[in-house]
């Protein structure tokens, strides 16, 4: 199928300049929005993955014990018990200084000196994050202390991860909607071009041109217009992404930092104008072949 190839003589058959009409510019806008939506979706996917990898295997054990001596003894007993388990990668008690730093926003810098029963905390990292492994940790901790509580980090951040996934699906839906809108624009443009050039098409038909030959004239022109429009839209989108990226790196947030684009993500975004041109070509070809079916 001759999607893009045509001779200079064939190109002369349709009288119009490059980027004539509104279609390339509308496609540029659609491509700009598509590239932003795609980049957002891919970055959110990366953030969700990173969040899941970071938190899935992490647990915090709280030992609420008012007596500091008993608390310290319980903490050490739990650490010893956990280190015997094969599912554990790392066990690390949270030091008093770290606890004080964590509580400072609420208790002030005198918090440690106040006579408050602060629980002992132990950070645990599992080799894998299966429910069975977490249950094994709970069992081991329970065997040492009935009051100790095991908190899986993934549970607390599950709503955030779910939100990120929802936003990612929303971005994917936006990309699909944009593709559908682009195809619709191409269909309308192809119908318009067909009406404009109807006398030429009639003559070509009577001289023995096939529907495929007629469609080839239009699809190449529309594909090139879509490609040029798409490249313009992508260029603007890349500028915006670069600006947003520099602003995000300035914030220094761990969560925002994880919302980054990998090499494959960039390759996908850079290929969007090609996908757009291909979509436009197929839409134009089908529209023209369908319309010509109603003629003799």
Partner 1 sequence: MATIVKFENVGLRYGIGAETLSDLSFSLERGGFYFLTGASGAGKTSLLRLLFLAQRPSRGLIRLFGEDMVTLPRDRLPLFRRRIGVVFQDFRLIPHLSAFDNVALPLRVAGTSERDIERAVSEMLAWVGLADRISARPATLSGGEQQRVAIARAVIGRPDILVADEPTGNVDPDMAARLLYLFDALNKLGTTIVVATHDVHLLSRVGAATIMHLDSGRLQDPTGALRYPPQREGAA
Q: Which residues bind partner 1 (CB under 8 A)?
A: 7, 9-10, 12-13, 15, 199-200, 202-211, 213, 293, 296
Integer Cα distance of 172 and 80 in angstroms: 48
Minimum distance, C-beta of residue 187 to partner 1, in the bound complex (Å): 22
The whole-angstrom separation of Cα 105 and Cα 89 is 31
The C-alpha torsion from 62 through 67 and 73 to 79, rounded to 10°, is 10
* Helices within the chain (DSSP H only): 8-12, 23-55, 68-83, 96-107, 131-144, 153-196, 198-206, 211-251, 254-258, 263-270, 272-292
8 Å CB contact between 277 and 223: yes
Edge-first strand listing for the sheet containing 120-126: 88-93, 120-126, 58-63, 149-152
Q: Of 73 and 209, which has the nearer Cβ to partner 1? A: 209
What contacts 156, CB < 8 A, 6 or more positions away?
Answer: none
Query: With respect to partner 1, which residue has the nearer C-beta, 181 or 289?
Result: 289
Residue number with CB closer to partner 1 (191 or 205) = 205
Nearest by Cα to 62 from 128, 108, 4, 124: 124
Least Cβ distance, residue 196 to partner 1 (angstroms): 12
CB 63, CB 74: distance < 8 Å: yes
What backbone torsions phi and psi does residue 89 show, to the nearest 5 degrees? Answer: -95, -40
- In the complex with partner 1, the residue whose CB is nearer, 138 or 205, is 205
Closest distance of CB 226 from partner 1, Å: 23
Q: How far is the CB of 210 from partner 1 (least distance, A)?
A: 5
- Give 8 or 250: the residue with its C-beta nearer to partner 1: 8
| Closest distance of CB 258 from partner 1, Å | 56
Least distance (Å) between residue 293 CB and partner 1: 8
In terms of CB distance, is 9 or 263 closer to partner 1? 9
């Amino acid at each position: 199928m001759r999607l893009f190839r045509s001779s200079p003589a064939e190109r002369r058959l349709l009288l119009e300049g490059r980027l004539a009409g509104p279609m390339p510019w509308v496609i540029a806008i659609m491509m700009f929005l598509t590239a932003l939506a795609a980049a957002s979706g891919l970055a959110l996917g990366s953030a969700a993955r990173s969040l899941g990898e970071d938190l899935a295997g992490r647990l915090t054990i709280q030992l609420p014990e008012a007596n500091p001596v008993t608390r310290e003894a319980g903490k050490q007993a739990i650490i010893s018990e956990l280190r015997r388990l094969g599912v554990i990668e790392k066990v690390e008690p949270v030091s008093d200084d770290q606890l004080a730093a964590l509580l400072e926003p609420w208790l002030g810098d005198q918090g440690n000196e106040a006579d408050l029963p602060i629980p002992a905390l132990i950070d645990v990292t599992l080799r894998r994050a299966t429910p069975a492994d977490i249950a094994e940790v709970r069992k081991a901790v329970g065997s040492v202390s009935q009051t100790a509580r095991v908190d899986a980090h993934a549970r607390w951040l599950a709503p955030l991860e779910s939100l990120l996934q929802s936003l990612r699906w929303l971005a994917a839906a936006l990309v699909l909607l944009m593709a559908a809108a682009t195809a619709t624009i191409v269909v309308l443009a192809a119908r318009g071009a067909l009406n404009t050039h109807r006398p030429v098409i009639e003559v070509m038909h009577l001289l023995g041109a096939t529907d495929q030959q007629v469609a080839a004239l239009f699809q190449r022109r529309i594909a090139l217009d879509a490609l040029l429009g798409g490249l313009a839209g992508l260029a603007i989108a890349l500028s915006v992404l670069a600006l947003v990226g520099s602003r995000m790196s300035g914030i220094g947030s761990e969560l925002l930092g994880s919302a980054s684009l990998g090499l494959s993500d960039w390759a996908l975004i850079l290929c969007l104008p090609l996908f757009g041109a291909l979509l436009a070509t197929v839409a134009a070809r089908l529209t023209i072949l369908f319309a010509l079916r109603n003629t003799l």
